[in-house]
Homo-oligomer: A and B are copies of this chain.
């Protein structure tokens, strides 16, 4: 009966999230009942969507309840099983939360998925070959639906979603332009992730400057934009969008903390006859097999080589998460738990 360190949401942020919103506790894992398995987590995934869950206000999913283990994707290994379909040693992906172990009712559809680590490292099932990868796939393939030769722009370019988007868009013959914070990230985006150009938003901190940078980076205009950020970058993209451009709205990090960030000139949606569509990947489970197949192939063949930022130990999760919200991570943010 292993001891299980857990991180709970203790109270909701007022404005910016802080470490004091979380609380570390230690419990014993309960004994298993029929159908259950005990999973020891190897990695916990930290993702921007978690910030939205911390608010009480209406968001695109239920609020994270206070006093409960923070929601989160995990990969790990079955260490005890009362379910004939799972054996000790099986590698599994699930939503284990911010804790070292989870007891899972493995009969529940979608609760656990066995994965093969022959060609894909276990941690990548939380990134490129997991939820962030499928997020990039859905936005690109189902909303932006680019033709070869079109220009696709993505913000938060070196994150887990942006990295996958670059590989997927290059595979479709697109020009891919990233937006990231700082020269190191931009260099990495171009040299390792395959972006044609990467714009440093720290050098272009207002609408006019970003709009000019986009004009240079996208000489044929913008046909698709994958929105991870919100704020003035979206305003700038609208100024450079071609007729019939598509915007996949996946995240609006910049607005989570406080007041909503307005869109300055929504009439451009009409002027450019654009489509702006929001989505959550968990509502489109039907595409996961196709998307994971392509993403696994891109990783297996070395066409997608995502970096990871790894924090050590569950106690480090809150600080790593707050850093992620500020763009301090470099690639997919994980917490290693073994």
User: Cα distance A325–B274 when bound, in Å?
Assistant: 24
User: Cα distance A81–B182 when bound, in Å?
Assistant: 69
| A273:B278 contact, CB within 8 angstroms | yes
Min CB distance, A230 to chain B, in Å?
6
Name the interface residues of A245-282: CB closer than 8 Å to any CB of B.
249-252, 255, 260-267, 269-280
Q: Which DSSP category, helix, strand, loop or mixed, fits chain A's interface?
A: loop
User: Cα distance A273–B279 when bound, in Å?
Assistant: 5
Min CB distance, A180 to chain B, in Å?
21
A290 at the B interface (CB under 8 A)? no
User: Cα distance A230–B271 when bound, in Å?
Assistant: 13
How many residues of chain A have a CB within 8 Å of chain B?
A: 31
- Chain B residues closer than 8 Å to A263, beta-carbon distance: 262-263, 266
Indicate with 1 or 0, residue by residue over A4-46, a CB within 8 angstroms of chain B CB atoms. Answer: 0000000000000000000000000000000000000000000
User: Cα distance A252–B270 when bound, in Å?
Assistant: 8
| A262:B265 contact, CB within 8 angstroms | yes
| B273:A264 contact, CB within 8 angstroms | no
Min CB distance, A129 to chain B, in Å?
24
Min CB distance, A87 to chain B, in Å?
38
**Which listed residue (B249, B264, B267, B274) contacts A277, Cβ 8 A?**
B274
- Known A275-B276, A276-B276; judge A266-B270 contact (CB<8 A): no
Name the interface residues of A208-257: CB closer than 8 Å to any CB of B.
230, 234, 249-252, 255
